[in-house]
Amino acid sequence: MSVASRKIKFGTDGWRGIIADDFTFERLALVAPIAAKVLSQTYSDTVGNNTVIVGYDRRFMAEDFARRTAEAVSAAGFDVLLADTYAPTPAFSLAVKHHNALGALVITASHNPGSYLGLKVKGAFGGSVPPEVTQKIEALFAEASSPMRSAGKIEMFNPWPSYCETLRAKVDIAQIREAIAQGKLAVFADVMHGAAAGGLAQLLEVPVQEINSERDPLFGGSAPEPLPRYLSYLFRLIRSYQREEGALAVGLVFDGDSDRIAAVDGQGNFLSSQVLIPILIEHLAVRRDFSGEVVKTVSGSDLIPRVAALYQLPVYETPIGYKYIADRMLETHVLLGGEESGGIGYGTHIPERDALLSALYLLEAITKSGLDLSELYKQLQEKTGLTSVYDRIDLPLASMNVRSRLLSQLQNQPLKEIAGQSVVDCLTIDGYKFRLADDSWLMIRFSGTEPVLRLYCEASSLQQVHQTLAWAKHWAE
């Protein structure tokens, strides 16, 4: 079987593969017109044109792959708006709405290592297409190509201006600028060599201290993922920063295509989205006077529903994956939807994760409260009476057979006790989430495509979290 004819498989958000092996010009030129065709079949009745947006991030040869995508889609009879520069993935989702397009094809591999590239498919509604759309693309890929229509036109566009204008209008941008200009707030941004580079400076129109802003297709030998193990330089930078008494500092971290975020407080401590989501709920409900449902995934912190309850906000829980949150955002009025891995979206925006918008809301929360992010979080813990710590580990398994054995064990021999605590409940909407007698929880979840076991835990202390995760690791091994 030739490389070109091998099946294409879409994951939770797009098709990704090793450059020059799975992800090639030939395969992309085959799948892109099919994706455009399926977008047309799915959304043409609501859109009324045949325009497809094509964008890209800063990975190796991403602009060349985007150009090839545009040519192949145009040759299939579609009009193409091709980005003339890299931009965050949510900027292209927003461009779909602004241009009333069928959808977008974005060349990105998100937070994967530098050897990967990929294709994300966005629908006319401004978010990732549902699984039934990508399944249709996969099915059509195996069929013979249809006859060519007359070629469409390719036009260039800059995705940044309208994206920045839209985001600026959602916050008190003047107050944030003033705090930075007066030295009351120092903003550090680690863009991880990715598509958020230059983004905050464009949005705020004042200088920010951006690191890892140069293009590096190898991402410094790491992966552009907002995790503590990749952020040692940012931690040191903030801890050594000399500021005036009373001044605040914050670090904002963006993944490779800027749809996921993490933060670092003024003391140089890492803040995952498990910390940021409660802060954002409170900010939007109190200082913005917004309402709506809070959507969380099953791995989300217990503090999320506690904070929502403070402000009489309903909570809806989904399996892990932003597509489930996006589906809910299309069904009802949502304040915020967030996932443990850093993707956060807003009902006032598009049904899409957007790290730069999250960054602006966090900056607004800091400037309006006059408090460090960790102080805001501490106050929420005090108000709700819940002090908790969260961590997770990804455990490689010896084989898929080991995965099958462990899964069978969970199904047929349910756990009654974990790390000395009795199990009082088990939620199975995605993996196995065990609620323990002391109200801590352990979640055991398998990767669907590789022999990896994901272990999540939240408890009242870091020691207890580590003990529970160690127990789970021992159980698996």
Per-residue model confidence (pLDDT) at position 288: 96
Domain boundary among 99, 131, 159: 159
Per-residue model confidence (pLDDT) at position 5: 59
Same domain, 224 and 149: no
Distances (CA, A) of 11 to 15, 44, 257, 371, 447: 6, 25, 16, 40, 11
Contact 127, 93 (CB under 8 A): yes
Same domain, 224 and 289: yes
In a domain, 189, yes or no: yes
Q: How many CB atoms lie within 10 A of CB 314?
A: 16
Q: How far apart are CA 338 and CA 349, in angstroms?
A: 14
Q: How many CB atoms lie within 10 A of CB 445?
A: 20
Same domain, 81 and 22: yes
Q: How far apart are CA 104 and CA 122, in angstroms?
A: 5
Tokens linked to 262: 């993490």
3-state secondary structure the chain: CCCCCCCCCCECCEEEEEECCCECHHHHHHHHHHHHHHHHHHHHHHHCCCEEEEEECCCCCHHHHHHHHHHHHHHCCCEEEEECCCCCHHHHHHHHHHCCCCEEEEECCCCCCCCEEEEEEEECCCCECCHHHHHHHHHHHCCCCCCCCCCCCEEEECCHHHHHHHHHCCCCHHHHHHHHHCCCEEEEEECCCCCCCCHHHHHHCCCCEEECCCCCCCHHHCCCCCCHHHCHHHHHHHHCCCCCCCCEEEEEEECCCCCCEEEECCCCCEECHHHHHHHHHHHHHHHCCCCCEEEEECCCCCHHHHHHHHCCCCEEEECCCHHHHHHHHHHCCEEEEECCCCCEEECCCCCCCCHHHHHHHHHHHHHHHCCCHHHHHHHHHHHHCCCCEEEEEEEECCCHHHHHHHHHHHHHCCCCEECCEEEEEEECCCCEEEEECCCCEEEEEECCCCCEEEEEEEECCHHHHHHHHHHHHHHHC
Contact 202, 160 (CB under 8 A): yes
In a domain, 5, yes or no: no
Count of structural domains within the chain: 3
254 phi, psi to nearest 5 deg: -125, 140
Tens of pLDDT, residue by residue over 79-119, are 999 999 999 999 999 999 999 999 999 999 998 899 999 99
Same domain, 110 and 186: no
Contacts of 13 (CB under 8 A, 6+ apart): 110, 120, 128, 321, 322, 323
Domain coverage including residue 400:
389-476
In a domain, 3, yes or no: no
Contact 103, 124 (CB under 8 A): yes
Which is nearest to 261 in space by CA: 382, 356, 175?
A: 356
Tens of pLDDT, residue by residue over 395-427, are 999 888 888 999 999 999 999 999 999 999 999
Domain boundary among 363, 384, 405: 384
Q: Which amino acid is at 449?
A: T
Per-residue model confidence (pLDDT) at position 329: 96
Per-residue model confidence (pLDDT) at position 14: 86
Per-residue model confidence (pLDDT) at position 1: 47
Contacts of 169 (CB under 8 A, 6+ apart): none
Which is nearest to 442 in space by CA: 431, 452, 367, 92?
A: 431
Which is nearest to 85 in space by CA: 164, 163, 158?
A: 158
List the CATH number of the domain containing 39: 3.40.120.10
Q: Would you write out the chain's pLDDT as a tens digit for each of its 477 residues?
A: 455 557 888 877 789 899 999 999 999 999 999 999 999 999 999 997 899 999 999 999 999 999 999 999 999 999 999 999 999 999 999 999 999 999 999 999 998 899 999 999 999 999 999 889 999 999 998 775 655 678 899 999 999 999 999 999 999 999 999 999 999 999 999 999 999 999 999 999 998 999 999 999 999 999 999 999 999 999 999 999 988 888 999 999 999 999 999 999 999 999 999 999 999 999 999 999 999 999 999 999 999 999 999 999 999 999 988 889 999 999 999 999 999 989 999 999 999 999 999 999 999 999 999 999 999 999 999 999 999 999 999 999 988 888 899 999 999 999 999 999 999 999 999 999 999 999 999 999 987 667 889 999 999 999 999 999 999 999 998
In a domain, 424, yes or no: yes
Per-residue model confidence (pLDDT) at position 363: 98
Per-residue model confidence (pLDDT) at position 449: 64
Same domain, 334 and 207: yes
Per-residue model confidence (pLDDT) at position 259: 95
In a domain, 207, yes or no: yes
Same domain, 307 and 408: no
List the CATH number of the domain containing 448: 3.30.310.50
Same domain, 118 and 35: yes
In a domain, 130, yes or no: yes
CB burial of residue 89 (10 Å; 0-12, 13-18, 19+): buried
Same domain, 366 and 449: no
pTM over 0.85, yes/no: yes
Same domain, 206 and 355: yes
